[in-house]
Amino acid sequence: MNLKNRVFLVSSLASIYLLVFGISWMIFNSLEVDSKVLNLVENLNSKQKIDSSLPKTEECPLNGQMFTLTEKQIWEERRPIVAIIENHEDSRPQSGLGSADIVYEAVAEGGITRFLAVMYCDIAYAGVKIGPIRSARVYFINWAAEYGDSPLFVHVGGANNICRNCPGGVKPVGQISKEVDAFKMLDKLGWRGARRNAFDGGTNVGYPIMVRDVNRLNREVAWEHTFVGFTDKIYEEAKARGFSAIGENGKAWDANFVMWRFSDNNPILYPKTSRISFGFWQNKPNYDVFWEYDASSNSYKRFNGGVRHVDHETGEQISAQNLLIQFVKERGPVDNEGHMFYQNIGKGKGLLFQNGDVIDIIWEKANQFSRTRYYDKMGKEVSFVRGKIWIEAVPDGNKIEY
């Protein structure tokens, strides 16, 4: 064999070895990551469940739902998690939405909605897996700021003006509007940073708090739909960062938190509504929503894009005791990246569905930190039925059928 052929043979064998090694490494690495995800899920599932026979005597400060003293003792050591959860049709069903005390839904971009899940009381005794986690928007931050001093804001990235390949590291004028720059707002609030209360899966938090779970739905999905978090791990990290119920500054998260008013179930004898339906954008039927009233449980069952909306972790249909339609002014796209802007600071109209009844309401939010308050047509603050609250931020002028 001449020298040329020997060199070719050695080169070929080396290439084959490197290829096999590379593939093996990727498979091993993937299996290792999947194994870590499975272990986290198994740890969650193996936790002792709350004894259902214990008396529920303690009121959740977020939605008035009643829980056990054991659960209260747990949540009193913590502060709320407010997590950005996506609703792209490829990401459904989501994980953990059914465990949220309060959920907000609004359009993120292009008629595709996104959720802000507020989690505190219902995740006290056993942590849950939440996701897919996605990027922040300024109006979601405005709602999150209502939940006391420095809530645990969970997200992956957000609308921002950063550009690694642009002159000065800043995007060109018009690429992104200042009013929708979520990173700028988080910086202004002091939430963003290596050890701060904004848990960003893209910059300052990773395994085991937030991971890529490529097998969550047992089907192939785009990479952006795979980020999940674990609430117990989030709380462990929050404690390490000085964000338990009492912050390092000695201030309790709820020192200035304003509770809404709550009342017990009081369904009307003859329900006025059996189905509430609406859309966000006309050309996006997969994001249309309807809710069906279930008189037997005095709750509203959610349907997303025409099908039952279930929590992937429990398989149960998502429901709420209170369905609130909050009409918001819509503007946009406001920049070249197609961002929309929804005005949730100020004043507007809405509808509150509860107890089989419907109430015309007025909503008011004086500033970013103030609590959104809801009033009836006589100017009296409304009471929410104890239990889940779902707030739909629907563009002003959209029709609600009921």
- In this structure, CATH architecture of domain 54-241: 3-Layer(bba) Sandwich (3.50)
Q: Which residue has the higher pLDDT, 371 or 13?
A: 371
Res 36: pLDDT:
56
Please classify residue 320 by burial: count the beta carbons closer than 10 Å to its beta carbon, then call 0-12 exposed, 13-18 middle and 19+ buried: buried
pLDDT of residue 264: 98
Instruction: For the chain, give the percent of residues with pLDDT over 70.
Output: 87
pLDDT in tens, 23-64: 343 433 444 455 455 555 545 544 456 676 899 999 999 999
CB-based contact 328:344 (threshold 8 Å): yes
User: What residue segments make up the domains of the chain, in order of their start?
Assistant: 1-47, 54-241, 261-395
| Side-chain-facing half-sphere of 402: CA atoms under 13 Å | 25
**Which H, E and C letters describe the chain, residue by residue?**
CCHHHHHHHHHHHHHHHHHHHHHHHHHHHHHHHHHHHHHHHHHHHCCCCCCCCCCCCEECCCCCCEECHHHHHHHCCCCCEEEEEECCHHHCCCECHHHCCEEEEEEEECCEEEEEEEECCCCCCCCCEEECECCECHHHHHHHCCCCCCCEEEECCECCCECCCCHHHECCCCCCCHHHCHHHHHHHHCCCCCCCCEEECCCCCCCCCEEECCCCCCCCCCHHHCEEEEHHHHHHHHHHHCECCEECCCCECCCCCCCCEEECCCCCCCCCCCEEEECCCCCCHHHCEEEEEECCCCEEEEEECCEECECCCCCCECEECEEEEEEEEEECCCCCCCCCEEECCEEEEEEEEECCEEEEEEEEECCCCCCCEEEECCCCECEEECCCEEEEEEECCCCCEC
**224 pLDDT above the threshold of 60:** yes
Indicate if 261-395 has the same CATH topology as 54-241.
Answer: yes
- Does the model's pTM come out above 0.85? yes
Q: What is the mean pLDDT of residues 339-368?
A: 98
Residue 119 is predicted with a pLDDT of 98
pLDDT interval class at 2 (50, 70, 90): very low
Per-residue buried b or exposed e for 231-265, using 16+ beta carbons within 10 Å of the residue's own CB? bbbbbebbeebebbeebeeeeebbeebeebebeee
pLDDT per residue as tens digits for the range 227-252: 999 999 999 999 999 999 999 889 99
- Domain 261-395: which topology? YerB-like fold (3.50.90)
On the question of pLDDT at 399 being above 80, the answer is yes
Mean pLDDT score, 157-185: 92
Q: What is the pLDDT of residue 22?
A: 42
Instruction: Quote the mean pLDDT of the chain.
Output: 90
Q: Distance (Å, rounded) from C-alpha 246 to C-alpha 242?
A: 8
pLDDT of residue 165: 87
For residue 100, what pLDDT is reported? 98
